[in-house]
Amino acid sequence: MEPRDPLENDMRLVRRSLPIQNRESQHNFPYRRYLLALLLCLSGHQSALASSSVTLQWNPALNDSRIAGYEIHVGTSSGTYRWVYEASDKGAATRQVSISGKEQGKTYYFAIRAINHDRSLISPFSKEIGHTIGDATQNSILESDEVWVGPSWQWVSFTQTFTDPIVVASSSESGSHPSVIRIEGVEPSGFWIRLEAWDYLSRDATTETVNYIAMERGRHRLPNGSEVMAGRLLTDPRESHNQVSFTEIFRETPIVVTNITSNNGNSAVTTMITSVERNGFSVGITEQESNTQKKVAETIDFIAWEPSKGTIDGTQYLVARTPQPVDHRPFELDFGSSFADPPLVLAHAQTIRGSDPFTLRWSNKTSRNIYLRLVEEQSLDAELLHHAEEIGYLLLGR
């Protein structure tokens, strides 16, 4: 079978750290990684070979001028690739390729790497993905990943199509200035996201690592019997806090994480959670302390998850509270040997004991521990001390 030209080059990608190398010297250059995300299109076309097509999607890296396109390597055994396809009609922005002529019932393995114009520079291969042509794949109720996010709006695409996804996220702390996460335009295929600096700061937010979860809206019972609810509300700007009632009472008080998923106001804002009970919780929106708090209605997505551990469609998870409240000082959360690799983390304060606006940030994440702390903004005063708050967290394997 001869390589075919890619079709429908209209793609999406996820970015990670990966070196681009010179073919001759293997010298490492500044880098980006491309995590291949397989999106199955099994409509196929009829032929004597009963062949089908498969569509691969990824999130393009647009901030490396050397990238001219991508090579897609395909084989019938893991790590050995027989066919090479090129996807470069949009240069570095290329983000999808459809490959046809594959046999029903046969398993193929796919990997992608970036190339420059004359192919003198290539990146190492992405994570390999295997798929058996003709297999029907049922969507998971959730999808999670890690992306780098800065002050500019960027699109994050899902590797599956949701019906009505709920999205929540949390950010690392690597920069010296505090920021908040702003999400909008949540669609079945993805969402827009950026980091916003508090209004009093004269500079843009620093690029940070953001972990996110997208979950199908509704109430879900997991294989181990624990329950999780993903929902959305529109805030009432006349109220300092909005009461949310769960569709059913949880057996145990859940962990709640929230995110603003609209962009209706002009000020940086964040969510504050309080009064978390088995039947509901209260959530509000706050601007920086020096503002007059003239809020507008915003959309808030939330996930309420019973404390538990287990797996969902092969993804390991742990949902719990920190063993003690967390304040402005870094708190080491040790989760032992639960994960082979650093997990994705989403954490949120479950109380409001301090009066100053704050965000929960994380740093130094490993496979065994992570550091959490509360970061206040300084629009009204310079002090950063904050009362200890109860913290809930979600950890998901990768």
Residue 44 has a pLDDT of 29
What is the DSSP secondary structure assignment for residue 19, as one 8-state letter? -
pLDDT band at 100 (very low <50, low <70, confident <90, very high): confident
Residue 96 has a pLDDT of 78
Question: Which of 44-58, 282-296, 308-322, 346-360 is predicted most confidently?
Answer: 308-322
Residue 369 has a pLDDT of 96
pLDDT band at 130 (very low <50, low <70, confident <90, very high): confident
> Residue 271 belongs to what H/E stretch?
strand 270-277
Name the phi and psi angles at 77, rounded to 5.
-135, 145
pTM score:
0.67
- Please compute the mean of the pLDDT values over residues 64-77 and round it to a whole number: 90
- Please compute the mean of the pLDDT values over residues 278-283 and round it to a whole number: 97
What is the DSSP secondary structure assignment for residue 1, as one 8-state letter? -
Question: Which of 15-29, 32-46, 92-106, 356-370 is predicted most confidently?
Answer: 356-370
pLDDT band at 135 (very low <50, low <70, confident <90, very high): low
Residue 218 has a pLDDT of 92
Name the phi and psi angles at 381, rounded to 5.
-150, 165
Neighbours of 393 (CB within 10 A): 23
Tokens of 103: 């046999």
| Residues 148, 159, 132, 91, CA torsion sign | negative
Indicate if the pLDDT at residue 367 is higher than 50.
yes
pLDDT band at 33 (very low <50, low <70, confident <90, very high): very low
Report d(CA 86, CA 231) in Å as an integer.
Answer: 41
Residue 52 has a pLDDT of 59
CB 302, CB 258: distance < 8 Å: yes
End-to-end CA distance of the chain: give it in Å, rounded: 35
Angle at 144 between CA 235 and CA 367, to 5 degrees: 120
Residue 39 has a pLDDT of 36
Neighbours of 319 (CB within 10 A): 22
CB 120, CB 23: distance < 8 Å: yes
CB 33, CB 18: distance < 8 Å: yes
Please list, in sequence order, all residues whose beta carbon lies within 8 angstroms of the beta carbon of residue 12, skipping any fewer than 6 positions away: 37, 57, 58, 59, 60, 95, 96, 155, 157, 189, 190
CB 276, CB 104: distance < 8 Å: no
307 against 32, higher pLDDT: 307
**Residue 115, CB half-sphere, CA atoms under 13 Å: how many?**
17
Least-confidence region, from 87-91, 180-184, 304-308: 87-91
Instruction: Tell me the CA distances in angstroms from 383 to 47, 61, 377, 380, one per residue in order.
Output: 71, 39, 9, 9
Tokens of 107: 């398993």
CB 93, CB 143: distance < 8 Å: no
Tokens of 348: 């949120």
DSSP sequence for 87-154: E-TTGGG--EEEEEEEETT-EEEEEEEEE-TTSSEEPPP---EEEETT---PPPSEEEEEEEE-SS-E
Please list, residue by residue across 55-87, b when 16 or more beta carbons sit within 10 angstroms of its beta carbon and e when fewer do: bbbbbbbeebeebbbbbbbbbeeeeebebebbb
Indicate if the pLDDT at residue 8 is higher than 60.
no
Type of residue found at 180 = V
Least-confidence region, from 11-15, 70-74, 350-354: 11-15
Our measurement of the distance from residue 241's CA atom to the centroid of its chain's CA atoms, rounded to an integer in Å, reads 27
Type of residue found at 17 = S
Least-confidence region, from 61-70, 185-194, 311-320: 61-70
Report d(CA 79, CA 110) in Å as an integer.
Answer: 9
Share of the chain above pLDDT 90, in %: 50
Report d(CA 115, CA 382) in Å as an integer.
Answer: 48
Mean residue pLDDT across the chain: 82
pLDDT band at 35 (very low <50, low <70, confident <90, very high): very low
